[in-house]
Structure 1
Amino acid sequence: MVPSTDGKTDNPFLDHAFFLALEQSGCASARTGWQPQHIVLTDGEQPLGLMPLFLKSHSMGEYVFDHGWADAYERAGGSYYPKLQCSVPFTPATAPKLLVPSGDPAVRAALLSTAQQLATQRRASSVHATFVPEAEAAAIAADGWLRRMDTQFHWFNRGFASFDDFLDTLSSRKRKTIRRERRDALADGLTVKWLTGSDLMEHHWDAFYDFYEDTGARKWGRPYLNREFFSRLNQTMADRIVLMLAYDGPTPIAGAINFLGSDRIFGRNWGCTRDVPFLHFELCYYQAIDYAIEHKLAVVEAGAQGEHKLARGYEPTPTYSVHWIAHPGLRDAVADFLEHERLSVAHEQLLLDGHTPFRKGERTDH
């Protein structure tokens, strides 16, 4: 999937194996509204650039919300779907979307123009590239696409030697709160195991899928990912996965899946079969921090949304997407909306920055 010199990408979600697992398991398919339309530019047999792309009949599983745009266009008599989505399905993690090993801007421009031509051929209303790096968003916006900004919450490792070392940078009240939450989460003798690589077995995935299915059913009605997907990941990407399971004796009762990049850990899905106070925070946020400190990883990306992460040492971090819209009227309306939205998001981030739990003088730019 990804042109590479060493066969392994910095970001696990750009691995060919990740896309293959999504598509071969049927999670990302025409039937689910994610029809692969990937663009590959070549010079003979040599790949020059790649753009992961899907033809979509809905806006689910994207985490950058355009339902309002779709509703407005439909009310005006247009057809918003299908659209083209340049993203990693079901994955709100920033990663390059115009994959050009040479860095040649002409290849990048060719990918964008090809996507626009494909949109016309497929009668798609628009093309959307979501969770792109800031520099990539700026470069694509310079080609006339509309830029959008949002907020996630990431944890940054400032050379901490231990979790207590991290806690020492927080206000006294926040330190006490986090210590109490961690104590209460495991108060009944629960234990947590980190499983990765050859330690991951199918019975672990059976347990995790039960947790994931329960949470997915309550959130979306139908989980995006199926059981086969996780087995395929286990066969091809086990060394890039950390599955954190909470046990009551020998019985797993909750779990969170994380993916490993070159300098960070990405928290993704979680679930449980028993409601334990603060266990969600423990497995998804505090254990990820523990892992990052122990393995000297720079960042924990804990997924989309969640202002509650702020009180737990996760900091507001901008995310970016870019959008090409064919209809001039809809494009102008969206451009006006995004101009106001960007101002609102920037203001919100300033306010959030003022409510981080760090002691005065402890936080530095990341």
Structure 2
Amino acid sequence: MLEIKISHKISEIGLDTWNNLLPTDYPFCRYEFLHALEESGSVSAKTGWQPLHIELQDNGITVAILPLYLKNHSYGEYVFDWAWAEAYERYGIDYYPKLVSAIPFSPVGGPRLLTKQPIEPLFESLNQAIPQLCQHFKANSWHLLFPTKEEAELLDSSNYMIRKGCQYQWFNQDYSTYDNFLQSLTSRKRKSLKKERQKIDEQGIIHRQIQGKDITDSEIDIFYDFYRLTYLKRGREAYLSKAFFTQLKKTMPENLLLVMAYKNETAVAGALSLQDSTTLYGRYWGCFDEYDSLHFETCYYQGIEFCISLGLKRFDSGAQGKHKIQRGFTPVPTYSGHWLNEVGFNQAVQQFINEETSAIDEQIEQLKKYLPYKAL
């Protein structure tokens, strides 16, 4: 049995210990990304994301890390459990606080247990520790959001409840150019995409792709105004502060791509993505004024062109958006794992998950029929 150590700040663990355990170059689990969330105040007990990061230690040596947060709400997770919380409330039982292992505000699948060792025995140690941690922090459940398929399968074999979701991703079939990608589409869909891009030209809008080291402070300022406005339009404040983006630019510029749109030399929209050696992750977007097809160009077509130019294999465009299918994004499953302390709810929640999973599986198969690619 490995020892469990809890850290209330990622800085207590430190950059070297954290990053030395990263199994891949996936950017969202990097120390720099999670540290920026905490340092900027975007993640804190005040915002309802109290860090409680787990170190699994063997004779005092950290062999694995699991990001963990104590939460008193379900905002910023993108795996929606509001109905579960309401059911608890109807029975006079507290659903919150809860423990969540996730990348805050980032519905992006990837490794959650950070280690260079085989993960199966480490998950066995976590299985024993989670109920004790919930009891210690007076939490009523634990949730692992957007893990890898392998991690989800290990939880499933340990009788955790596994939920399935659906997102949309573009896959590079070794396209040499954007036109080469277009040739893989049916004639009708190819014409539709060309028409959308033509509308951008006709409106006098041009785009610039700016990689991290070339992004200026003023461009971050302008982009942040775009990003914040997307939330203000819905009557909410943005999850992330400007300080978060400023710190990312300083500490992990090699992972950033900023696409800016200009009309008459004035910036009108922006999209900030992250990247690693294989994947582009579309994350943050905003605009001052709406223009025909502006979102599609800024958030999708520019990203596809970027992936092709660098030979990236995948473009993860984020949560939601069936409209992405006709633009070449394939529906793929996502996963989350759940442990509830209140045993009386397990059967009802599991039945809900079973029905939801069947619906998701059927939805994915149906949506694939609308992909724009030529039949092989």
TM-score when normalising by structure 2: 0.93
Q: For 1:163-222, what per-residue CA distance to the aligned partner results, in whole angstroms no more than 9, with x for missing partners?
A: 111111111111111101011123222211111232111101100000001002224611
Aligned to 2:320: 305
- Which of 160, 163, 175 is the equivalent residue of 2:190? 175
The DSSP-based 3-state class of the residue aligned with 2:280 is strand
What is the CA distance between 1:86 and its match in structure 2?
A: 0.5
Aligned to 2:229: 214
The DSSP-based 3-state class of the residue aligned with 1:351 is helix
1:334 is the counterpart of 2:349: yes
What is the CA distance between 1:138 and its match in structure 2?
A: 0.5
1:94 is the counterpart of 2:109: yes
What is the CA–CA distance in structure 1 between the aligned matches of 2:116 and 2:267, rounded to whole Å?
A: 43
1:114 is the counterpart of 2:139: no
Aligned to 2:139: 124
Q: Contact conserved, 1:150 with 1:345, CA < 8 A, in 2?
A: yes
Q: Contact conserved, 1:259 with 1:265, CA < 8 A, in 2?
A: yes
1:273 is the counterpart of 2:291: no
1:75 is the counterpart of 2:95: no
Structure 2 unpaired stretches of 5+ = 1-14
Q: Contact conserved, 2:88 with 2:94, CA < 8 A, in 1?
A: yes
TM-score when normalising by structure 1: 0.95
- Which of 311, 333, 346 is the equivalent residue of 2:361? 346
2:285 corresponds to which letter in structure 1? W
- Which of 16, 21, 34 is the equivalent residue of 1:19? 34
| Greater shift in the superposed pair: 258-267 or 93-102 | 93-102
Q: For 1:287-312, what per-residue CA distance to the aligned partner results, in whole angstroms no more than 9, with x for missing partners?
A: 00000000000000000010000010
Backbone CA RMSD of aligned residues: 1.5
Aligned to 2:278: 263
1:73 corresponds to which letter in structure 2? Y
What is the CA–CA distance in structure 1 between the aligned matches of 2:245 and 2:44, rounded to whole Å?
A: 16
The DSSP-based 3-state class of the residue aligned with 2:146 is strand
What is the CA distance between 1:140 and its match in structure 2?
A: 1.2
Aligned to 1:137: 152
Aligned to 2:247: 232
Aligned to 1:287: 302
Structure 1 unpaired stretches of 5+ = 362-366
1:254 corresponds to which letter in structure 2? A
- Which of 184, 189, 197 is the equivalent residue of 2:204? 189
What is the CA distance between 1:46 and its match in structure 2?
A: 2.6
What is the CA–CA distance in structure 2 between the aligned matches of 1:69 and 1:357, rounded to whole Å?
A: 37
Q: Contact conserved, 1:254 with 1:271, CA < 8 A, in 2?
A: yes
| Greater shift in the superposed pair: 54-63 or 40-49 | 40-49
1:325 is the counterpart of 2:343: no
What is the CA–CA distance in structure 1 between the aligned matches of 2:85 and 2:22, rounded to whole Å?
A: 39
The DSSP-based 3-state class of the residue aligned with 2:233 is helix
Q: 1:18 to 1:80 in 2, by over 3 A?
A: same
Q: Contact conserved, 1:186 with 1:279, CA < 8 A, in 2?
A: no
1:353 corresponds to which letter in structure 2? K
